[in-house]
Amino acid sequence: MLKAVSLKKVYTSGEVSLEVIKNFSLEIKEGEFISLVGPSGSGKSTVLNMLGCLDTPTSGQIIINNTSVTSLNRTQRANFRGENIGFIFQSFNLIPVLSVYENIEYPLIMVQNLDESERKKRILKLLEEVGMLEHKDKTPDKISGGQMQRVAIARALVTNPKIIFADEPTANLDSKTAHMIIELMKKIQKEHQTTFVFATHDEKIVANVDRLITLIDGEIVEDKRIVR
């Protein structure tokens, strides 16, 4: 469902060029629960942002669900991302002035033409699924970090994406909450067949994925499948 071929990313500042991703190729199958691991600065976030269409490679090709996303222009890419990809961030990135319900609704208003009642049905079902129904009218400052990440997960799922990218999703959570969030994502992966791609060095996530890609200095040094 996702194929990356010879990705390279070079950051240039003034006279200095830094090649942070050197030659990254990867195939991901539908329903995989997979993580990029490696030391801080090894390029995990850079790769995740390119695969998730938030950023573009300097060279190389990315194909997602038969679309060559690296051939799309900026607007096409943003539309593709809105309709096919979900993102979960370390710092949750909820919109502070919107309620829990409205935060989840937001991506739907941006990209899809669903009528009001269909939208509401979908949001309420997700609120239930992530255990946040009773908090739906609160703003983010009235809920805990773990609850914020539940809302962010629901927001990532609301457009029914086939693939979700999660960059250090448990880094700002205590370990008990982190475990609950991981279990929630596993449940979602099983029930919706959603592909999850993590970037993390959290052992709790590493212990749950079925494939580990290790990056060092922008290169894959190991690609390991784990049978549980």
Q: What is the contact surface with Mg ion in residues (CB under 5 A)?
A: 44-45
The interaxial angle of helices 145-157 and 116-129, nearest 10 deg, is 140
**CB-wise, 20 or 143, nearer to ligand ADP?**
20
**CB-wise, 46 or 99, nearer to ligand ADP?**
46
Residues in touch with ligand ADP (CB under 6 A): 11, 18, 20, 38, 40-46, 199
Q: From the list Mg ion, ligand ADP, none, which binds 41 (C-beta under 5 to 8 Å, kind-based)? A: ligand ADP
CB of 59 to ligand ADP, least distance (A): 16
Q: From the list Mg ion, ligand ADP, none, which binds 42 (C-beta under 5 to 8 Å, kind-based)? A: ligand ADP
**CB-wise, 50 or 181, nearer to ligand ADP?**
50
Residues paired with residue 33 on neighbouring β-strands, in sequence order: 196
Per-residue b/e over 162-184, b at no fewer than 16 CB within 10 Å?
bbbbbbbbbebbeeebbebbbeb
Instruction: Tell me the CA distances in angstroms from 54 to 46, 66, 116, 167, 178, one per residue in order.
Output: 10, 18, 28, 12, 25
CB of 71 to ligand ADP, least distance (A): 23
Cα separation, 126 vs 149, whole angstroms: 13
> How many contiguous H segments (helices) and E segments (strands) does the chain have?
7, 10
CB of 87 to ligand ADP, least distance (A): 14
CB of 219 to ligand ADP, least distance (A): 12
**CB-wise, 60 or 169, nearer to Mg ion?**
169
User: In this structure, are strands 2-13 and 16-28 parallel, antiparallel, or unpaired?
Assistant: antiparallel
CB of 88 to Mg ion, least distance (A): 13
Residues paired with residue 85 on neighbouring β-strands, in sequence order: 163
Instruction: Tell me the CA distances in angstroms from 47 to 66, 129, 165, one per residue in order.
Output: 19, 30, 11
Q: From the list ligand ADP, Mg ion, none, which binds 200 (C-beta under 5 to 8 Å, kind-based)? A: none
Q: From the list ligand ADP, Mg ion, none, which binds 46 (C-beta under 5 to 8 Å, kind-based)? A: ligand ADP
